[in-house]
Structure 1
Amino acid sequence: MKKQLFFVGVLAAVAGFTACSSDENDTPAPQILSTTVTNLNIDTASTGKFTLYSLSENKIIPNSDSATTKWDIGFQALNVIVNGGVSGPGKTQAQFVTGVFANLTTAPTTGYATDSTAVKVAKAWYNYNFMTHIVTAIPGKVIMLKTTNNNYAKIEIFSYYKDAPAAPTGTEQARLLNFRYVYQPNGSVNFK
């Protein structure tokens, strides 16, 4: 009887250890986030602050967290900053590349820069028509980011106006940014 109880106890222990090790191996790998952000309010120029955004969390970060690494990119009217250099305590770096967003399946491994007083991501994404005062996104201008956590993202801003009209007339509400992005959470340069 003692041998049977001992044998049952050993089997239970082995089953318990096997179950624990199996759970550890079943942890899913982080998934690539591909999304579109619509009507992000970037009308903050009068406050001097930026609308801060976390790509990994797909949400606005409060300005009270501007001195943290919780955000990746910030928008203010036509200006764009990244959380690095003079713009924030992070190590986020950016660069512009030209190409069709969907076809850019790999992030560059070099060529990134942090914000400085001389260089910001800012004005490379849009055209401004001085006659009509209309801002249009430049097709094929993609912001590539290497985040503080050494993850990669690509962003394409496609409209500066509410609900992203195909042909803005200047009567639409401005400073409501529309962009698409892909965030790779595992440190890989591949967006597939």
Structure 2
Amino acid sequence: MNNTINIMIGLIAGSCLFLITINYMAENIEDFESRPLPPPKQMSITSQNPVIKIDATSRKKWTLVDFSSKKTYKVKDKEIEKNKTNHHPWDIGFQRTKIITNGGITNPKGNVSLKNLGPVDFDSMTTIPIEGYIKDAKTYGKILNKAIADWYLYRTRTHN
């Protein structure tokens, strides 16, 4: 048999198998999607210390947090609005999954650095560790603080 005919038969058979599989999966997905979702769990946070609510959902704005005054400030671009960034007292900044601190490469004049203590009950902390703090640094073109870099690991290929 001609090589081209063999290729065409293989492609047609593969396409049919693919379509049958997708059709079967689509029926199962419809069954799964017709089930009602469970009610969302309400997250309750309790602490003896003050709780600061931070809106870090914006893709364009940074939310800067000052722990001493318990205030938050919005900054559109930390590089362009550097005077605004340095105008407000702040300790840590959030933009979706990105976190910066007021020290290191983000603000060389700032004195904020972080230490990862691991899983710790916040209210049980009575003393502050003296050493082992890390400032922001530039890694692969991004600002990163290695003390908290592993809090969010997302793999786009596997979505986990």
- 1:34 and 2:34 aligned: no
Quick one: distance in 1 between partners of 2:52 and 2:90?
15
Q: Is the 1:78–1:123 Cα contact (8 Å) retained in structure 2? A: no
Report the alpha carbon displacement of residue 68 of structure 1 after superposing the two structures with TM. 3.6
Q: Which residue of 2 aligns with 1:185?
A: none
> Aligned residue for 1:166?
none
- Equivalent residue, structure 2, for 1:175: none
Equivalent residue of 2:123, what SS?
A: helix
Could you say which structure has the larger radius of gyration? Answer: 2
Aligned identity (percent) is 28
* Number of equivalences: 99
Where in structure 2 are the equivalents of 1:90-109 lying within 5 Å? 90-98=110-118, 99-109=120-130
- Contact 2:66–2:89 (8 Å) recurs in 1: yes
Call closer, same or farther: CA 1:116–1:68 in 2, change over 3 Å: farther
Change (3 A) 1:113 1:130: same
- Residue 67 in 1 paired to residue 67 in 2? no
* Aligned-pair CA distance for 1:34: 2.4
Distance 1:101 1:112 in 2: 18
Alignment TM-score, normalising by the size of structure 1: 0.43
Q: Which runs of 5+ in 2 are unaligned?
A: 1-47, 76-80
* Alpha-carbon shift at residue 70 of structure 1 (Å): 0.9
Residues 79 and 122 in structure 1, CA contact (< 8 A), matched pair in contact too:
no
Distance 2:110 2:68 in 1: 14
Q: Does 1:116 align with 2:137?
A: yes
Q: Which has the higher helix share?
A: 2
Could you tell me whether the CA contact under 8 Å between 1:81 and 1:122 is conserved in 2? Answer: no
Asked whether the 8 Å contact 1:84–1:91 carries over to 2, the reply is: yes
- Mapped to 2, the partners of 1:129 and 1:103 lie a distance apart of 34
- Evaluate the alpha carbon distance shift between residue 44 and residue 101 of structure 1 in structure 2; reply closer, same or farther with a 3 A threshold: same
CA 1:128–1:62 in structure 2 vs 1: closer, same or farther (change >3 Å)? Answer: closer
Question: How many angstroms apart in 2 are the aligned matches of 1:132 and 1:35?
Answer: 37
CA–CA distance in structure 1, aligned partners of residues 50 and 152 of structure 2:
21
Aligned to 1:137: none
Alignment deviations for residues 13-63 of structure 1 (CA, whole Å, 9 cap, x no partner): xxxxxxxxxxxxxxxxxxxx921123x211232x2x421111111011242
Q: How many angstroms does 1:131 deviate by? A: 9.5
Distance 1:132-1:116 versus aligned 2 partners, 3 A rule: closer
For structure 1, the residue ranges without an aligned partner over 5 or more in a row are: 1-32, 135-192
Query: Relative contact order (C-alpha < 8 Å, sep 6+): which is higher?
Result: 1
1:44 to 34, 37, 58: 58
Identify, as 1 or 2, the structure richer in strand. Answer: 1
Moved over 6 A (4+): 129-132
